[in-house]
């Protein structure tokens, strides 16, 4: 007879092995540990914090874009932000060399 076990507890798997040895099959999903310990309140807190920080960053980058023609567009949500650097805003000509200098300067 084949016995299968799926659990989210390493203790249960240890006990299974002690009692049954390698007979049957079992699996352990680390994701289950996450789901059982998931705290919606702290998740929402961190999500809102990321949105707030991201909004401040986007606002600051847009203020820089108003001063510098090199910044063609700023967009994003939360901490996922994109800054498009262009040589000419009307034509949206990519500013590849300037972008490389900025990226290398941030390392």
Same domain as 60, residue 101: yes
Rg (C-alpha) for the chain, rounded Å, is: 26
Local confidence pLDDT in tens for the 107 residues of the chain: 455 556 666 776 677 677 666 655 555 555 555 555 667 777 788 888 888 898 999 999 999 999 999 999 999 988 899 999 999 999 999 999 999 998 899 88
- Total tally of structural domains belonging to the chain: 2
Residue 83 CA to its chain's centroid (Å): 18
**CB contact set of 102 (below 8 Å; sequence gap of 6+):** 85
Domain assignment present for 25: yes
Domain assignment present for 63: yes
Range of the domain at 61: 55-105
């Amino acid at each position: 007879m084949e016995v299968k076990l799926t659990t989210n507890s390493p203790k249960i798997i240890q006990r299974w092995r002690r009692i049954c040895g390698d007979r049957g099959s079992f699996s352990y999903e680390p994701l289950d540990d996450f789901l059982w310990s998931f705290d919606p309140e702290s998740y929402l807190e961190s999500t809102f914090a990321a949105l707030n920080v991201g909004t401040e960053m986007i606002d600051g980058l847009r203020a820089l874009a108003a001063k510098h023609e090199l910044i063609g567009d700023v967009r994003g949500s939360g901490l996922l932000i994109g800054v498009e650097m262009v040589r000419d805003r009307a034509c949206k000509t990519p500013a590849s060399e300037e972008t490389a200098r900025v990226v290398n300067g941030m390392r």
